[in-house]
Amino acid sequence: MEKKPTTLFVVAAALTNESGAILLQKRPDHASMGGLWEFPGGKVEAGETPEVALARELFEELGISVNLQDLIPETFASEPLGERHLLLLLYRCVTWEGTPTPHFASEIAWVHPNDMAALPMPPADYPLVERLKRI
Ligand SMILES: Nc1nc2c([nH]c(=O)n2[C@@H]2O[C@H](COP(=O)(O)OP(=O)(O)OP(=O)(O)O)[C@@H](O)[C@H]2O)c(=O)[nH]1
């Protein structure tokens, strides 16, 4: 019988500063996909809208507060991820309260989309970066 993958709903943010650089965080070495650079975010939990999930993740991961209306849909990725299928919604955000501080990531960095090719990222992120470069 054909296998039917479960879709994993993930939301992530392209937090963008005045220079057009975007915040990336490095996954801890012991985590799945350890050492890869990614957009902050995570899985949408039951009972959450994508925007509520992203605001929660940004507070948990970076200690920043965002208003839901400041999360602007930008692009998405739809890719196989192991036995599952990843649907990653990427939002643009230029306004937040607080200074991003890594609570789980081993490092954070502000990176221009043109410079992201030099960093190892999860496979689903490369098409996202290509689109960010064109915007
Ligand atoms: N936040 C984030 N996750 C990404 C990106 N690209 C990508 O493939 N993912 C994948 O989407 C999933 C995000 O969920 P997560 O960050 O809560 O996953 P996790 O494994 O760290 O948490 P867990 O302990 O709940 O399993 C992971 O499988 C992660 O590898 C990205 O740019 N940002």
How much is the pTM?
Answer: 0.95
- Cα separation, 67 vs 70, in Å, equals 5
Reported as a single tens digit per residue, the pLDDT across 41-69 is 999 999 999 999 999 999 999 999 999 99
With a CB cutoff of 8 Å and minimum separation 6, the contacts of 134 are none
Ligand 1 atom closest to the CA of 79, numbered from 1: 8
The answer, yes or no, to whether any atom of ligand 1 lies below 6 A from the CB of 61, is no
The answer, yes or no, to whether any atom of ligand 1 lies below 6 A from the CB of 33, is yes
Among candidates 74, 70, 113, which has minimal Cα distance to 95?
A: 70
What are the boundaries of each domain within the chain?
A: 7-134
pLDDT, position 107: 97
ipTM: 0.93
Bridging pattern class, strands 7-15 and 37-38: unpaired
130 pLDDT more than 80: yes
**3-state SS class at 132:** helix
User: Rounded to the nearest 5°, which phi and psi values hold at 3?
Assistant: -80, 135
The answer, yes or no, to whether any atom of ligand 1 lies below 6 A from the CB of 12, is yes
Reported as a single tens digit per residue, the pLDDT across 111-125 is 999 999 999 999 999
Ligand 1 atom closest to the CA of 27, numbered from 1: 21
Q: How far is the CA of 67 from the centre of ligand 1 (A)?
A: 22
- Cα separation, 86 vs 124, in Å, equals 8
CATH class entry, domain 7-134: alpha beta
